[in-house]
Amino acid sequence: MKIRKITALTSLLIILIGQQIHAQQYSLRYMYDQYKYVVNPAAIKIGKGVGLHANYSQNRFDEIVNNNHLGGFGIEGGFLYENMGLGLVFSQENTGILKNTDVKLSYAYRVRLTENHWLTFGLSAGIFYQGQNTTDIITGDYSDLLIGKSQTDFCGGFGLNYTWKKLEIDVSIPNYNMLNKKNVPLFASASYNFSLVEDWGLKPIIMYNGLNPQMNLVDIRLQASYKEYACLQVGYRTSKELLFVAGGSYKNVSLGVAYGFNLSNYGDLNKGNFELILGYRFVNAKLKKQTSQREINRKTQQSLTKIDESLSTLKESDAKQAQELEKINQSVQSLNNELLNDFKGSLNEIKENVLSIQREEVEINEAKIVDKGYFVVVYSTTTREDAEAIVYRMSKQGVQGYIIKDSKRAFYYIYTATFDNIHSALDYSEKERQRGFSGAWVLVIK
């Protein structure tokens, strides 16, 4: 049994010294994208109430060395104003011999650039403790000079969060301290949430994990989600781990589980890593109402934007239609002008033909009335043109008129009938007066 313990200790020392693990210092291994404020103070969820989380993770080595575990809790939220937030993170990691404790406060300030466009700045400060467990591994009185004595130091961090619609980018220096002043930790991530169908989304995620500078890791993940109720992730980490993450929430409670399968040549020693996280978010009625109102305003603004875009499209369409209509109107106007000119020409020809026919008829009538002596006259004029125009207007009213010239008086008379006796002529002139020719009279030519 003692040889077995010595073998276990040797294996653990090889892991600690060979891979130069300087302590994780951070309370999560797989769920940074769900609780990024742990490593980025700018990722505090401002304006969404107060959130709590507790987590536990364990590296599953062989059946002897099984005490490499990490735990912690955090609290964050918009405690102050609409664009400010505070956070508190406590974590403790045990790697068999090493024990590391980290406590830090975070502050975030959010700047709204435009609608759904934010830039958040974050600062953190705290205390970092690095020491060794007094747990007896071999003799019950363990002290290893390879590990060193306990040390405490202040630490600080800085982070940025950029959000534009469904794109989110994080960059941070989470925890810099003088104990490892040559090692500057770095965290970065980028994700974009694609909307597939209603309420369903697909989000690719890429993360750089330089929290331990000796182990720079990159995660490539793909997450499928349904609203904010459930999500499922699969991914690969460059430490040759295959990652599976599942999470869900009901009302204000959230639960997440993650597992990392080790695909390296040391898979017989490292059986995989397990992580469990539990969260709860306090949201009061006023905040819910404000959030609901903001959501209503957001949807209203989206609807107004769509209406504006539709109106703009309609205006462009109307402008094109107006141009086409103007061209059509110009064509119609041109055609109307041509038709009008043609019509005027035709009308003048018709008028000339009518007048010519009337002249012929008048000449014939004048020839026929040589022996007649009583004419019922309705108009008289001094020119031939006026007489012809009067006859033409009468014809439009359905009345046939004739012209006779008095050569002695140089007058043209327009008459409607002729008779061979005075009595018949007088009777007819009376009828013409009743019909509307008030000046009808009888011209007697002997």
Q: Tens digit of pLDDT for each residue in 170-181?
A: 999 988 876 666
Sheet containing 411-419, strands listed edge to edge, beginning at the edge strand earlier in sequence? 402-406, 411-419, 374-381, 441-444
pLDDT of res. 167: 95
Check residue 224 and give its pLDDT: 94
pLDDT digit string (tens) for 121-148?
999 999 988 777 655 444 444 444 444 5
The two tokens of residue 375 are 């004419």
Q: Please report the pLDDT score of residue 289 as a whole number.
A: 62
Number of neighbours of residue 207 by Cβ within 10 angstroms = 21
User: Which tokens hold the place of 413?
Assistant: 């008379």
Question: Is the pTM here over 0.85, yes or no?
Answer: no
Domain boundaries along the sequence of the chain:
2-283, 372-444
State residue 357's pLDDT score.
Answer: 52
CATH number of 372-444: 3.30.70.1070
Write down the pLDDT at residue 33. 83
| 82 in Cβ contact with 103 (< 8 Å) | no
How many other C-beta atoms lie within 10 A of the C-beta of residue 250? 9
Q: Would residue 88 be called left, alpha or beta, if left means φ above 0 and alpha means ψ between -120 and 50 degrees? A: beta
Pair 115, 108: CB distance under 8 Å: no
Kindly give the parts of the chain with pLDDT less than 70: 1-27, 60-67, 79-81, 95-97, 133-149, 178-181, 213-214, 265-271, 285-295, 298, 350-372, 407
The predicted structure's pLDDT at residue 354: 58
Distance CA 280, CA 271 (A): 31
According to the model, what pLDDT value does residue 205 have?
96
CATH superfamily placement of domain 2-283: monomeric porin ompg (2.40.160.40)
Structure tokens given for 145: 């000079």
Structure token pair of residue 15? 């892991």
- Residues 92 and 27: their CA atoms lie apart, in Å, by 7
Q: Which of these, 94, 98, 77, 95, lies nearest to 86 by C-alpha position?
A: 77
Kindly state the tokens that stand for 154: 């202040």
